[in-house]
Amino acid sequence: MPLAIRKIVFALVALVAIGAGLLLVLYAGFPYFYAESGSASYAREHRVDALLALLGALALAWVAWRSIRRSFALRWWGASVAVIVLAGFILSAMENRRIPEGALPIGGNWYVVSTSEPDEFWKVRHHLYYKQGSRYESIEDLAAEYGFVPPDCVTYRPITVETRYAMCGFRSPASTGADSSMTDSELLERAAARPPYRRDWQSNP
C-alpha cells in the first residue's frame, strides 16, 4: 500500500476513534451536562456504566494517538484542530447572537416564540428567551403560559407540571415548589433574590 494511502487510512481511523471516544464521554457525563431534576440519582444508579464508558474512551484515545503518530505530522494535526476550533467558535458566536426565528419582544429583555400545536392538549407552546448582552439565552422551551411583569420579570408554567416559575433579570428562576398556594407576588419576591443565572440552575436550587 502506498505511503500516502496508508497515512490517510490511519488518519481516518484516528478520527473515528476520537469521535467514538467523545460519544462515550458524553454518555458518561450526560446526567451532569443535562443538569435536570433527577439527573443526580440517575448518575448514582449508572456509575458502573459511566466508568466502563470512560475506560472505553481511554482505550479509543490510545488507538487514536497511535493512529495519529502513524499518519500525518503532528503540526498538520495541530493546524487542523486549530482551524476546526476557530470555525466552531465563530459559528457558535454567530448562532448565539442571532435572534431566534419568529421571536417577538414581550417586554424588558424577554422574547418569546409561540408555536401552535392543535393536535396536542396544550394547543400552544411557548419558548422563552432572555437577551443577555448580544446572546439570546433559552430559558424555557415548553411553557404552557407566561406573563411579563415590569420592569424585567416573567412568570411561567411548563406544560408538564403545575409548578410555577418566575425569573427576574438574568437571575436563576425561582419556583413555587410544593407550595401551590404561593402568590405571584411572593414568587416574584423570591425570584428577585435569586443568584446570577446558571444553565444548571435546576441542580442548584
Q: Would you place residue 196 in the very low, low, confident or very high pLDDT band (cuts 50, 70, 90)?
A: very high
Same domain? 85 vs 137: no
Same domain? 113 vs 81: no
Same domain? 123 vs 59: no
Same domain? 35 vs 93: yes
pTM for this model (two decimals)? 0.59
Same domain? 54 vs 71: yes
16-75 confidence digits (pLDDT tens): 988 898 888 888 877 666 555 455 566 667 678 888 888 988 999 999 898 888 888 778
188 contacts 153 by C-beta, under 8 angstroms: yes
Q: How many domains does the chain have?
A: 2
Choosing from 97, 132, 161, the residue where a domain stops is: 97
Choosing from 97, 132, 149, the residue where a domain stops is: 97
All three cell numbers of 110 = 424577554
Choosing from 97, 126, 147, the residue where a domain stops is: 97
Q: Which residue has the higher pLDDT, 40 or 170?
A: 170
| Predicted pLDDT at 151 | 94
Same domain? 109 vs 196: yes
84-142 confidence digits (pLDDT tens): 888 877 777 776 677 888 999 999 999 999 999 888 888 899 999 999 988 899 999 99
| Predicted pLDDT at 75 | 81
Domain range for 152:
104-203
Same domain? 93 vs 116: no
Same domain? 147 vs 193: yes
**Among the ranges given (24-38, 101-115, 153-167, 184-198), the one the predictor scored with the smallest mean pLDDT:** 24-38
Same domain? 73 vs 116: no
140 contacts 202 by C-beta, under 8 angstroms: no
Same domain? 74 vs 39: yes
104 contacts 136 by C-beta, under 8 angstroms: no
Same domain? 88 vs 120: no
**Among the ranges given (1-5, 33-37, 56-60, 156-160), the one the predictor scored with the smallest mean pLDDT:** 33-37
Residue 12 has pLDDT above 80, yes or no: yes
